[in-house]
Amino acid sequence: MKPLVYVMLAIALTGGVLNAAPGGDGVFPYPWETHTLENGLRVVMIPMSSGGLMSYYSVVRTGSRDEYEAGKTGFAHFFEHMMFRGTKNYPASVYDRMVTEMGADANAYTTDDLTAYHLSFASQDLETVIKLESDRFQHLDYAEAPFQTESGAVYGEYRKNRTSPWEVLIEALQETAFTKHTYGHTTMGYEADIKAMPTMYAYSKEFFSRYYRPENVVLLLAGDFDAKKTLDMIRKYYGGWQKGYVAPAVPVEPAQTAERKISVSYDGKTLPLLVVAYKGEALDPSNRLMVAGSMLDDLLFGETSEIYKKLVLQEQKVQFISADFDFNRDPGLWAIYAMVKDAKDLPYVQAEIDRTVETFRTTQVDAKKLANVKKRLKYSFLMNLDTPDKVAGRLARLVAITGGIDVVNQLYAAYDAVTAADIQNAVATYLTPARRTIATLKGRD
C-alpha cells in the first residue's frame, strides 16, 4: 500500500483522528524503532512501504547555536561543505562517483540547531550508504590547502547572500535581539569571522573532533528496509566510532525588559520590509503555554486570519504578511514578517499587527477558529509524510532538538488539549512590547 494511501485510510477509519501507530500512541502513522549503540549513537528506524526507496539522514545536533567562542562563528555551516571532501578510504571523487552510480541524491543543510546530511536512494544500496556515511563521519580527512579553498568559497556564499534584503535584515535583527546567546548570529556567522576562517585550520580539526561524535548524532532512516538487518549493519560500521562529544558553553540570554528597534539600509532596490520578533520559548511539549504560543502564528497571522484578508486582499497594502513561531532548542524568536508596498505604510502595518495582538489579548478566540487551526496543524503534517524523504525531512529538526521522535505524538496531543484561555494567556505572556524587537529595511529610491 502506498504511504499516502496508508495515511488517508487511517484517517478515514478513525473519523479523522489516527489511532496509535505501532511505534506509540498518537498522530504519527508509521511504526518506528529507536536504538542506542554502546558508543551513544542513536538510531531511529521507520520502515514504510515506499516502492524500494529510502531516505538516510545523519542529524548532527550542532548548528550555529553551538558556536559560542568569540571570533569563531560559521564553522557548523563550514562542515556542511567540508564533509564532502572525502576520506583516505573514499576520497571526494570516489564518494561522488559511488553516489552517482547508485543514482542517489546526496545533500546537506545547516540551521541554528542542527546540521543534517541526507541521501535518497534505492534500498538495495543501503549497506553501501552505511559504509560511506560511517566512514566520512569517523575519518573525514582534509589538508590545509583544500580547507582554505573551501573556507574561501564559504565567504563567497556569504557575500552572495548579502544581495538578498531579507538576509541583510535578519542578520541585523538577530544581532539586535540577542545580547548574549549564540542565536545572535546567523547560520553563516559573522562576516569578520568568515573572512578569518582560512587561518583557522587547526581550530577546524578541533571543532570536528568536539562535535562530530556518536553521542551527538542521530541516524534517521525511513523507507523499505529490514530493521534488524539494518541495525546489525549500523553496529558493524559505526560500532568503532569513539565517544568524545564536548557540550558547548552556550550563554543564557538575559530576560528582555524593553522593546528594541533597528532600521536597516539596503544598498539596492527593494520593497520595504518589516519584522516584529518576540522572544519565544524552547520546545517543550509538556509546557502548555509554550505549545499554545507556537500556534499563534497560524491563528493570528495565517492566510485565513483577519489581518491577512485586510492587508493583502482588501487594502493591498502589503505584498505578503506571514509569521513563523518555530521550535528551537533554546528560546528563540517568534516573528511576523511583512513586505510593504509603500514605505509610508510601514507604521500603519505595524499598528495593524499591534491591533491584532490586542484583539486576541482582550478577547478569547472563537472555538471554531481554534479547532480549525488544530486540524490544519495535524493534516499539514500528515499530508507531507507520503515519501521516505518527506518523512525524514519533517522529523529532522525535532530529532535534533530532542534527540528522538517521541516528541511528535507528545506535541500533537498537547495541541489537542489547548483551550481558548490558553491562547489568550499565551498572547498576554509572549506578545508584549518588552519582549520584542522591531526591524525595518528600506532600499534605494
Same domain, 373 and 430: yes
Residue 272 lies in a domain: yes
Residue 5 lies in a domain: no
Per the structure, the complete domain to which residue 344 belongs is given by 260-442
- Residues 242-259 have a mean pLDDT of 97
Percent of residues, the chain, with pLDDT higher than 70: 94
- Residues 249-270 have a mean pLDDT of 97
Q: Is the pLDDT of residue 84 over 70?
A: yes
Contact yes or no for 430/280 (Cβ under 8 A):
yes
Same domain, 193 and 326: no
Count CA atoms closer than 13 A to 359's CA, side-chain side: 15
Structure confidence at residue 88 (pLDDT): 95
Residue 289 lies in a domain: yes
Same domain, 300 and 424: yes
Kindly report the pTM of this predicted structure.
0.92
What CA–CA distance (Å, rounded) separates 30 from 19?
Answer: 11
What does the pLDDT look like over 43-66, one tens digit per residue? 999 999 999 999 999 999 999 999
Residue 154 lies in a domain: yes
With cut-offs at 50, 70 and 90, classify the pLDDT of residue 25.
Answer: low
Return left, alpha or beta for 299; rule: phi > 0 is left, psi -120 to 50 is alpha, else beta: alpha
Residue 199 lies in a domain: yes
Structure confidence at residue 15 (pLDDT): 31
Among 20-34, 324-338, 383-397, the range scoring the smallest mean pLDDT is: 20-34
Same domain, 115 and 173: yes
Structure confidence at residue 7 (pLDDT): 41
What CA–CA distance (Å, rounded) separates 8 from 62?
Answer: 35
Structure confidence at residue 444 (pLDDT): 86
The candidate with the shortest Cα–Cα distance to 306, out of 261, 353, 259, is 353
Q: Count the domains in the chain.
A: 2
Q: Is the pLDDT of residue 20 over 70?
A: no
Structure confidence at residue 389 (pLDDT): 97
Q: Give CA separation, 137 vs 212, 215, 271, in Å.
A: 7, 12, 44
Q: Is the pLDDT of residue 261 over 60?
A: yes
Domain CATH for 416 = 3.30.830.10
Percent of residues, the chain, with pLDDT higher than 90: 94
Average pLDDT, the chain: 93
Same domain, 342 and 433: yes
Residue 160 φ then ψ, to 5°: -65, -40
- Residues 116-123 have a mean pLDDT of 97
The DSSP secondary structure of 167-206, one letter per residue, reads HHHHHHHHHHH-SSSGGGS-SS--HHHHHHGGG-HHHHHH
Structure confidence at residue 14 (pLDDT): 30
Q: Which residue carries 548532527 as its cell?
A: 60
Residues 156-166, buried b or exposed e (16+ Cβ, 10 A)?
eebeebbeebe
